[in-house]
Amino acid sequence: MMSSHRRPPHIISFSDDPESVGKDGEFGDPPLPIFGWKQFEPNIRNRGFDWPENAFSMIGAARMRNFRVLTERVISGSVPGDIVETGVWRGGASILARAVLAAYGVQDRRVILADSFEGLPPPDKDRYPADEGSIFHEYSELAVSEDKVRSNFEKFRLFDDQVVLLNGWFKNTMPLVPSNRIAIPPLIVPPTPTDRERLTTARTSL
């Protein structure tokens, strides 16, 4: 469903400016000291190569713009289905998706966020030998609580019944995604040992 109603200011500022997924709309906060970056570098942040200290997303401005364009194409092309993000961190990409739906007056789609909200599990090297040595599960910075993600949505007045938080490990939750059709499949950023599980179970709804 789409309408031509005038968009409220908080929707205009967010959906028209993908970079505003920083703290209070500020894009340029320093990176977390994870990958050796010690200060904000626009090119690094744009490509999503660092983890921002305050921003709501780590995917970078380039991917954020692409995600917005994909969401708008789904709307303009009347592609049926919901939007699913697996591994949401602080919720920034999904907040953007919900803002775009609101900006276009879309009321018949949901944004579904699947995450453990407690970080990543250790790699299963027996099932996936290529994942041996992955240390993403050791980063406490990836553990963002469900309450915190909800709070981030509420900062933009975007948390409502069109937002679904699906809590648990992908192997348990992906078969239970409450959607009969997925218009935009799970994002795979950054790659993790559980990518196969989220894609394998999601593809049946595409």
CB 61 within 8 A of CB 52: no
Q: Is 174 exposed, middle or buried (0-12, 13-18, 19+ CB in 10 A)?
A: buried
Q: Which range in 20-29, 60-69, 99-108 is most confidently predicted, on average pLDDT?
A: 99-108
In this prediction, residue 185 carries a pLDDT of: 79
Asked whether residue 148 carries a pLDDT value surpassing 50, the answer given is: yes
Q: How many helices (H) and strands (E) does the chain have?
A: 7, 4
* pLDDT classification of 189: cutoffs 50, 70, 90: very low
- pLDDT tens-digit series, residues 193-205: 555 555 555 554 5
CA triple 145-166-122, angle to 5 deg: 65
Domain boundaries, the chain: 9-205
In this prediction, residue 33 carries a pLDDT of: 86
Asked whether residue 180 carries a pLDDT value surpassing 80, the answer given is: yes
Asked whether residue 54 carries a pLDDT value surpassing 80, the answer given is: yes
- pLDDT tens-digit series, residues 24-52: 334 568 899 888 888 888 888 888 889 99
Asked whether residue 187 carries a pLDDT value surpassing 80, the answer given is: no
In this prediction, residue 195 carries a pLDDT of: 53
Mean pLDDT for all residues in the chain: 82
Distances (CA, A) of 15 to 85, 173, 185, 200: 17, 29, 20, 31
Give the pair of three-digit tokens for residue 91: 């919720």
CB 51 within 8 A of CB 141: yes
* pLDDT classification of 152: cutoffs 50, 70, 90: very high
pTM recorded for the entire structure: 0.81
What is the C-alpha separation between 56 and 24, in angstroms, rounded? 10
Size (the chain), residues: 206
Topology (CATH level 3) of domain 9-205: Rossmann fold (3.40.50)
Residue 45 CB contacts under 8 Å (≥ 6 apart), including other chains:
27, 28, 31, 52, 60, 61
What is the C-alpha separation between 9 and 128, in angstroms, rounded? 47
